[in-house]
Amino acid sequence: MGFKKLFAALGAGGASVDTIITEPNVVPGGVVQGVVRIQGGSVEQQIEGLNIGLQARVEVESGDQELKQDIVFTKQRLGGAFQVQAGALHEVPFSLEIPWETPVTHFAGHPLHGMHIGVSTELEIARAIDAGDLDPINVHPLPAQQAILDAFGQLGFRFRSADMERGHIRGTRQTLPFYQEIEFLPPQQYRGLNQVELTFVADGHEMDVVLEMDKKAGLFTEGSDTYRCFQVGLHSFQGTDWAAYLNEWIASVGSRRNWF
């Protein structure tokens, strides 16, 4: 192997990769399209493989600490091995399906702080993997998810934060190794309530809606959590007044437990 080829194998003067997303705005169950552009370096190189996937940065509990971990939760191989001539441009188009469980990153036209989801690109050269940059995508709610989110707004709840946590919620259709929690602060009418956490776990037909209410801790009492999971059809959600549904559940739990 000559010096130039050696340096190229080590990353100096080698091929570079750039992923361009045609339309970054998607919904769960949709498709993100784009093209991977591989620019040849100073020498001819053999590309063993090219992969794209979706990557999320999630929270992982480790003892008393919370760490951040990048998880590729869907992956697609784009063709087999090929050669890139020195200085040549090689383009590979792609269509990548968005899993139904993919967390939303945007709500009410605004990005949710802390949500990092994007298309990752891997270029395999000489048995090594050169990971490209993460290209963000904007995941908007499905209509059924939007209906639930709007219901919280109609009741006066305010968005607080969102995160993605590694783990599994029992009793749901979850298949991904992580889930999203969207936290809302309650209005004054629910004065004994600290916050409500919302999680969606969808497939192509319906979704599990997971709610967890957190009671405020009092001077002589500890806080407590109440959990509920119900199913919503992705194509049959319009017939329910979700604001009334949520209000009835919150009010009934609160009155039974003397929260408010």
Instruction: State which amino acid sits at residue 211.
Output: L
Average pLDDT per 10 consecutive residues for the chain, totaling 260 residues: 38 75 96 93 86 95 84 92 89 96 92 92 74 85 97 94 94 96 91 88 96 60 66 95 93 66
Domain ranges across the chain: 16-139, 143-256
What is the distance between the alpha carbons of residues 83 and 65, in angstroms, rounded to a whole number? 45
Task: Indicate the fold that domain 16-139 takes in CATH.
Answer: Immunoglobulin-like (2.60.40)
Helix axes 143-154, 242-256, angle to 10 degrees: 50
**CA pair distance 78, 92, nearest whole angstrom:** 8
pTM (two decimals) = 0.86
pLDDT for the residue numbered 253: 76
- Amino acid identity for residue 101 in this structure: E
pLDDT of residue 256: 64
Q: Which helix (H) or strand (E) holds 131?
A: strand 128-131
